[in-house]
Copies of this chain bind each other. A is one copy, B any other.
Amino acid sequence: MDFKSIGVIRTPFKNLEGTPIQPIGGSKVEGTVELNPEYVEGLKDLDGFSHIILLYHFHKAKDYALQVKPYLDPVKRGVFATRIPGRPNPIGMSIVRLKDIQGNVIHFRDVDIIDGTPLLDIKPYIPVTDVKDNVKIGWLEDKSKKMSDKKGDGRIK
């Protein structure tokens, strides 16, 4: 399968060190999507949505392991039970708050993405399909509260 970069994500996070490990940790921080100009017509109507889903290439993840130690845990976990960038297909997903669209540039908040990340897709965030009830989060049960202010230490998450 051949996918292509359709733009680039710009954020204040120049290195893995200090990049929030999930969007909630970056909620006061703003970033932009610079969509390649040939796709700008595809942004019509997006400004009516408060939140958007960004899919992107974890371009710093050069390799992966099937079991990994996440930031929040001393135990090795299956890679598919984590959001770690190093995965068989290094595709990242973040739900961010849309602030403004000017031409081909989208301003957003709640950034957990490293500067220069290649963009793959933008989708609208739709609660009727994207919000679930009665959720269990396994090994993260006691840890998700800590995610909000956890910063990267240079590992690929």
Query: A interface vs B, CB < 8 Å?
Result: 1-6, 22-24, 39, 41-53, 55, 57, 66-67, 76-83, 87-89, 91, 93-95, 97, 118, 120-132, 134-141, 144-145, 147-148
Taking a contact as CB atoms under 8 Å apart, the answer to whether B22 and A134 are in contact is no
Taking a contact as CB atoms under 8 Å apart, the answer to whether A45 and B128 are in contact is no
Taking a contact as CB atoms under 8 Å apart, the answer to whether A123 and B80 are in contact is yes
Q: A77-B44, A81-B43, A122-B80 are in contact. Are A2 and B4 (CB under 8 A)?
A: no
Taking a contact as CB atoms under 8 Å apart, the answer to whether A132 and B97 are in contact is yes
Whole-angstrom distance between the alpha carbons of A51 and B140 in the complex? 13
In the complex, what's the smallest C-beta–C-beta distance from A44 to chain B, in angstroms? 3
Please name all residues of chain B whose beta carbon is closer than 8 Å to the beta carbon of A124 when the two chains form the complex: 80-83, 137-138, 140
Known A1-B118, A39-B80; further 11 A-B contacts with Cβ < 8 A: A1-B3, A4-B89, A22-B129, A24-B128, A45-B77, A55-B89, A81-B124, A95-B129, A124-B138, A128-B147, A128-B148
In the complex, what's the smallest C-beta–C-beta distance from A32 to chain B, in angstroms? 15
In the complex, what's the smallest C-beta–C-beta distance from A22 to chain B, in angstroms? 4
Whole-angstrom distance between the alpha carbons of A135 and B137 in the complex? 23
Please name all residues of chain B whose beta carbon is closer than 8 Å to the beta carbon of A120 when the two chains form the complex: 1, 89, 91
